[in-house]
Amino acid sequence: MSVNREEIKQLIDFIHEEDAAEVYDFIGYLNMKREREAIDQFDLDLLTRDKELIRQVQKSQGDRTNGRIYNQEQGLKYLQNKIREFESEQNL
């Protein structure tokens, strides 16, 4: 879309002061939106190149598919058992 910037500037020169404040706020909003979109895209690009993260996600998906997930109580029991195992190894 082609925009005549000079025409936009002239329109701004002739609007009421309170409308000018709204235009100013809207331009600020557009700038923040573009910055956020650029950051989101940058983050997405970084995440898609992180091979370890991709491996972890795929493993997690496999665990869910195969029923290897814990609810809160099961997870707590699992951790308590691991702590007991660790402590018993330390006492050897």
pTM over 0.75: no
Q: What is the pLDDT along the chain (92 residues), one digit of tens a residue?
A: 788 999 988 988 999 998 999 999 999 999 999 999 998 888 888 888 999 989 999 998 998 888 888 888 988 999 999 999 999 988 76
List all residues 6 or more positions away from 62 whose beta carbon is below 8 Å from its beta carbon. 68
**What is the pLDDT, as a whole number, of residue 67?**
83
Contact criterion met (CB below 8 Å) for 20 and 12: yes
DSSP state letters, 3-15: --HHHHHHHHHTS
